[in-house]
Amino acid sequence: MGAVRPDNPLFRYRDVVDDWPAFETAVASPLPATIWAHPARITREALRSLLAEAGIDARPVAWQPSALRLPAGLRPGAHWGQAAGLYHAQEEASMVPVTLLDPQPGHRVLDLCAAPGNKTAQAALALGNRGTVVANDVAKGRLAAIRHLIKRLGLMNVSVTCRPAQDYSPHAGGFDRVIADVPCSCEGTVRKSSQPSAQALCETRERLVARQTAILDKAVRLCRPGGRIVYSTCTFAPEENEQVVDALLRRYPDELRLLPVSLPGLYLAPGLTGWRGRTFLPELAQAVRLWPHHNNTGGFFIALLERVGGECREGARAAERPTDGHWLEGIVQRYAIPGSALAGLRLVHRGRKYAQLIAADHEPPARPERVFFGLPTVGVQMKPPKLTTAGVMALGAYARRNVVELDESQAQAYTRRQVVTLQPGQGIGLGESGSVVVRRRGYGLGLGVVSPAAEDGSRHLASLYPRSWAAEVP
């Protein structure tokens, strides 16, 4: 990009950026890729070692205990660990809102504008993959990204709804934590995408602000007293940031307060208390901004709010279709999966294809109706029922029979849906033939089918890795 010229939409921030030349340099440089380790599957240290074996020198992110920054130019999907759901790629600045919100086990969490699902995943795993997270998005076409993320990361405490966030049913409350990462003008993503013209931004900003204000107002009403709301955008515009929060603080002076925040190891610039002749409440300085040149990230705005008064309607909870779990019986027996692997979970059945595993203490709202929920674990349309790829990734590490462990080259072939030749004795408790759990270094990749052993003891493994997932493997 080079110098930010006066006709560039970002030039309007010259007077509020502390080091304009450094800002210009940052927005003209590529954005580093960052990932976080799946806390139930691998530690950051173990993930870093795993990547190092492949020649990838990933560096710890100082403020985020599970995050790593990848070398310049490296794609996050370049390592098989992503296919196994050992880590997830998320821009560093985007990790901050949920980290500050600090959802804890026992909290009921709502993500009002969830797609593509990064913050939903953060919250779900912060709850230990139990309890209740509701992920909502207005765009049906974007729900596929959330569904895929649920499968790859094995999320069993998420229900997904599809409604305009500002019109979300009041019967869904109450929530202990609400994420309002609202649609915005996306100026903070300048390092990874082209930007619209200044005129286009001005024409859309007024509509955006009205929508953002309505979404934050809905978040307040759905949050229980004592609960917290994080409001965030990936834009620099004070109209979409401080101005929106200022409006809600004035609307609910006795019910809402802005909390001070900090993250050791990450520089958080204070929010603005005024912009172009408009004065905001002094406490807006407690909101935070991530300017690209301070931490080598994208741009973000975050405000952490606490609901200190008022009332919140407690909505009815959805009823699940009961199932006795018989679809799992043959699977548990075939792969010798211990009962402890299913502790705190229950099997539910909705639709014709799959039975889902979901947290036993999951309490989704009765309204709005859910589009999907839980982890599709068992393909019940098959005879006999079989684990899905997502089911293997979630439960495969526990399997003790009919398991095949692959080496590096075999795993690459498997995820590309190629036939793999197994060496004599390669496998754990294999039967004569049939479906097997496929793993790499003990981590579930998916299902395969082994042939009977040849005279030399070798077998062939046919890959059942999903075609749509194989397309993502480099």
Identify whether the C-beta of residue 225 lies closer than 8 Å to the C-beta of residue 310: yes
- The one catalytic residue in 162, 186, 234, 312 is 234
Euclidean distance between CA atoms 345 and 36, whole angstroms: 25
Euclidean distance between CA atoms 304 and 288, whole angstroms: 9
* 234 classed as catalytic: yes
**Burial of 370 from C-beta contacts in 10 A (0-12 / 13-18 / 19+):** buried
Identify whether the C-beta of residue 135 lies closer than 8 Å to the C-beta of residue 111: yes
Task: Count CB-CB contacts under 10 A for residue 418.
Answer: 14
Q: Binding site for S-adenosyl-L-methionine: which residues?
A: 113-119, 137, 181
The dihedral region occupied by 345, where left means phi > 0, alpha psi between -120 and 50, and beta the remainder, is beta
Q: Which residues contact 179 (CB under 8 A, 6 or more apart)?
A: 97, 98, 101, 109, 110, 111, 112, 113, 114, 119, 120, 123, 229, 230, 232
Euclidean distance between CA atoms 185 and 239, whole angstroms: 11
Q: Binding site: which residues?
A: 113-119, 137, 181
Identify whether the C-beta of residue 395 lies closer than 8 Å to the C-beta of residue 377: yes
Question: Hey, which residues are catalytic here?
Answer: 234
